[in-house]
Chain A
């Protein structure tokens, strides 16, 4: 047994209280070396524990691999390990002293578009892998398109396997210029390019000595420093009410708190708010988190708000600024990603969930379907099959309080649920309101 353990130097409390959080999406297929890259990030940031390393070392040996397959760390389910493919969204975690990272790791093949969309929905950064030998391929364009459709604010293009192209700057530059040409049509403005070799670790955590011509940041440095604070909307006040807190006790007989998570904007006590759908206005009396009284609430805080006046507010209602309201509408135009094997049917009734609200809806019109291979539009299309994306109009049974997705992810997104199976079958991003 080991020698008597000692306590390591004290962990700096102030330091971890300053750590921020970055959610990132990785997209790519097995061949891109995506799993190897994630394994490398986990390994080099020491997020892999010894027993996990032992376990994958044993598995690698049993399969007759020459070296430890870092990809095994991220391939979670047994079927996937056997087939050597990643078939779902897997979440991975690592941290540096500056940031905690949540990786949504998704398969890159076209038949897994819905998984990528799922991972993209909460991501602040998309990590797109390109094999340096093949450059920008159809899959790259599809990944960039989905990242843009889901409005991931930052894209980081990792040009991988530089070791297989002799670390040639010309290869890197040509791929970058190719990518930029078509990325000009996308909505994401912050795109960074990094030449790496995930297998050997070049420019992943440690700077590569093989590519002196590259003077930019390593991937890890970029992940730690990319500016994410301004990605949120602090202007338009939106607070969907999730749950009304009403203590049944004499001590708090008059307390009526509205529990929810701030979607956008900054709320302060004294602020004038309008409650939707009633249209009644009041002022914020107090913002609380348990026994803490807060000066302000901003996204993505979960708080309880009390108002000066006793309005009749329930789950699904929304508090907003009276001078800048979301649109209360039953007619929505949106981009819709279809996620079910059973195709989308026009005129069929579905459930729609938006913020804390649920209604029923009918999809009236499919304006066009996007071919995710060519990114061309097909206006003749009459249905959406699994993994297909289209622009639709729908009508709901009761008003939803919506914004454009490009303005606010939380009030601009919705899901479609099948009434018979209760499955989530579609994900929508509101364009017009």
Chain B
């Protein structure tokens, strides 16, 4: 065979890198876990974990930080996937954390449980003594993330220090840490939104139905269509009604905007994303608070 036959396309290279990262974590840590949100990125991580560890079980559980504001479709999808995989799921409930005083609900007209997720997650890390957590974050999502390492060190308070990151060279990852400290690991660091969608299409991966075009009751808030729910009912004077929409990310119902779209298959979505003119996180109200919003939340221990 000629050399040209030994060429991998960009998706295969990204896949190989992610599998390598996952195996390093399994080998270097005592108690890793995979943060599973039910969103497409964490679903892709699950597929990569299958590629890294099958026919054996995953050497870690899935952990879902359940805000209580999830789309019901996401929760149903999560439970079905876990059942199919035969893997272990740990649910860290924000409701429970609020009830026991670990976290506080954000008061205000647009209820958000973004901040309440942080202590809930940190509490779960302490309880289960996790020393490494896989997250599905990608560097293309946001400027603060563009500088984050694949192995991202967190101190005993769960904080990220962007000025003092470990150099990360070649494919050698340094997971050494002291008790109480942990590492967030981002196997999809070098993927873009389009790569993720192409991979989902290529691998024929099942995703929650809300990613696909459907009719839904939405209300206009700050120039974006928000799904109405008991957490965010439409007022009498609001611009609201039924629209054909889909979601580009899966966060809480209170902070994830819908986009009008007729894309009803993965191929449609790949085409739409390839032609998209607004970035994915633009549809997340939580990041629009300030320019440095993400950087601040990350420092505190957000994903």
Please report A residues at the B interface, Cβ cutoff 8 Å.
Answer: 1-2, 4-11, 13, 16-21, 49-52, 55, 59, 73-79, 87-93, 95, 99-100, 102, 114-115, 117-118, 121-122, 229-230, 232, 234, 242-243, 245-249, 251-252, 255, 257, 259-261, 266, 289-291, 296, 298, 300-302, 315, 339, 351, 353-356, 409-410, 413-415, 417, 422-424, 427
Contacts and interface: CB of A to CB of B under 8 A. Distances in A.
B10 A93 contact: no
A8 B261 CA distance: 11
Contacts of A1: 220, 260
A424 B7 contact: no
A236 B286 CA distance: 50
Contact of B262 (A7, A17, A413, A417): A7
Nearest to A292: B51
B53 interface: yes
Contact of B271 (A11, A55, A252): A11
Interface stretch (B100-108, B112-120, B170-178): B170-178
Contacts of A18: 9
Contacts of B170: 121-122, 409-410, 413
Given A18-B9, A245-B55, A413-B170, A7 B19 contact: no
Nearest to A316: B27
A90 B189 CA distance: 12
B271 A49 contact: no
Contacts of A249: 55-56
A239 B263 CA distance: 43
B142 to A, nearest CB: 8
Given A19-B10, A79-B163, A100-B195, A353 B174 contact: yes
Please provide the 7 A-B residue pairs with the shortest distance between their CB atoms, ordered closest to farther: A49-B279, A302-B19, A51-B282, A422-B176, A21-B10, A8-B275, A247-B56
Contacts of A229: 3-4, 6-7
A102 B15 contact: no
Nearest to B174: A424
A90 B144 CA distance: 9
Nearest to B225: A1
A118 B149 CA distance: 11
A247 B195 CA distance: 31
Contacts of B53: 243, 245, 259
Pick the most buried of B4, B10, B190, B282: most chain A CB atoms within 10 A of its CB: B10
A248 B163 CA distance: 43
Nearest to A22: B10
Contact of A21 (B14, B54, B162): B14
B91 interface: no
A74 B176 CA distance: 30
A16 B244 CA distance: 28
Nearest to B56: A247
Contact of B6 (A17, A261, A266, A354): A266
21 contacts: A7-B261, A10-B267, A13-B267, A16-B198, A76-B145, A78-B295, A87-B163, A89-B147, A95-B192, A115-B167, A229-B4, A229-B6, A249-B55, A266-B6, A301-B16, A302-B23, A339-B167, A410-B171, A413-B169, A417-B174, A423-B166
Contacts of A296: 1, 6
Contacts of B8: 300-301
B278 A353 contact: no
Contacts of B23: 242-243, 259-260, 302
A226 B220 CA distance: 48
A118 B17 contact: no
Given A7-B271, A302-B15, A422-B176, A91 B277 contact: no
B139 interface: yes
B160 to A, nearest CB: 11
A356 B175 CA distance: 12
A90 B260 CA distance: 33
Contacts of A114: 167
Nearest to B223: A1
Interface string B164-196: 011111111010111000000000011010110
A17 B9 contact: yes
B181 to A, nearest CB: 9
Interface in B51-99: 51-57
Interface in B188-227: 189-190, 192, 194-195, 198, 201-202, 220
A422 B165 CA distance: 12
B290 to A, nearest CB: 10
